[in-house]
Structure 1
Amino acid sequence: MQRIAVLHVSGMPRAYRPRVEQAMLDVITSEPMSAAPGADVLDATWCTRWQRSGVAVGAVDCRQVLSGTDEELDIFSGVMSLMAGEYGFQAYVELVG
C-alpha cells in the first residue's frame, strides 16, 4: 500500500544533492502516485525542488512530497538520517498519509 511522506532537508552541502536523488531512486522503487491526494495534477512537482539554504553558504534545503511503501519510506528515512549525521545537515522523513 502506498503512503505519503514529506522529505525535509535543511543546510545540506550542495555537493550531496546527487546522493540524495540516487538514494530516492535506489530505495523508493514502487510506482509513484500520479499526484498527492487533493493536489492539482497540473501543479504537482515531478522533480525535487532544491532552494538555497539560509543556514549555511553553499547549502540547500528541500521539502519534497514522496510516495512509497511503509518499508521503502522507513529505509529511506534511515538512509537520510545516516547521511545527515555523516555530512552535518538536518534531514527527516515525515509520514503524512
Structure 2
Amino acid sequence: MTTLAPTLARWLGAADSSAPDYPWENSDVPAYAPLTCEVNRTAVLNITGMPGTLRPRVETAMVLCIPSESELCAYDSDPLTAEWFTAWHRCAEAGDGPRIACRQTITGTEDELSRLRTIIGNLARNHGFHAELTVGD
C-alpha cells in the first residue's frame, strides 16, 4: 500500500488555521513588501600593496560589515556587465610574495562603513599595505 503525502497547502494551513490556503490569490495582500532603504552612503575602498593571502579576510570583512543591499546594482541590470564582485589585480609594489590591489565602490550605512574602515585599517597596519575607505556623499 502506498501513502501519499498531503499537499503543501494543507501542511501550511495546519500550522495556522487562520492562514488562507492560497495567500497569493488574496488581492488585499501586497505581492511583495515595500522596500525600505537605510543605505545612504557611497564610499570607495582603495587597497594597494596587500599580500594576496589576505584577500579572503578583506572580502569576508566586506560581507560581514556591510549586510545591506548595494544601491549600485539595479534589479534589471545586465548580469554580464554588473559589478558582482571585487576586481583584484596584481600590484607593482615589491614585497614578500605577490601583492594585489583593488578599487571598489560600495554603499552602506554610516555604521557599516565605519566598521569596515576599522577592520581594513587594522589589517593594513598589521600587514604593511595601504588601505583607504573614502566616503563620498
On whether the aligned pair clears a TM of 0.5, the verdict is yes
User: Which structure features the higher share of strand residues?
Assistant: 1
CA displacement 1:58-79 (0-9 Å, x = unmatched): 0000000111000100110111
TM-score by length of 2: 0.63
Q: Which runs of 5+ in 1 are unaligned?
A: none
State yes or no: 1:23 paired with 2:47.
no
- Work out the CA distance in 2 between the residues paired with 1:34 and 1:76: 18
AA at the equivalent of 2:56: P
Larger helix percent? 1
SS in 2 for 1:66: strand
AA at the equivalent of 1:14: G
Aligned CA-pair RMSD: 1.6
Distance 2:105 2:126 in 1: 24
Q: Using CA pairs under 8 Å that are at least 6 residues apart, name the structure with larger relative contact order, 1 or 2.
A: 1
Counterpart of 1:50 (choices 78, 88, 93) is 88
Residues 40-64 of structure 1: CA deviation (Å, up to 9, x unaligned): x444411000010011250000000
Give 2:117's match in structure 1, choosing from 77, 89, 92: 77
Q: List per-residue Cα deviations over 1:2-29 (Å, max 9, x = no partner).
A: 2110000000000000000000011101
Calculate percent identity across the aligned residue pairs: 38
Q: Which residue of 2 aligns with 1:92?
A: 132
Please list every run of at least 4 consecutive aligned residues from structure 1 whose deviation after the TM superposition is greater than 6 angstroms: none
What is the TM-score normalised by the length of structure 1? 0.87
Q: Give the counterpart of 2:102 among 62, 67, 74.
A: 62
Paired residue type of 2:68: S
Contact 2:72–2:106 (8 Å) recurs in 1: no
Instruction: Output the amino acid matched with 2:61.
Output: A
Instruction: Give the gaps of 5 or more residues in structure 2.
Output: 1-37
Equivalent residue pairs, number: 93
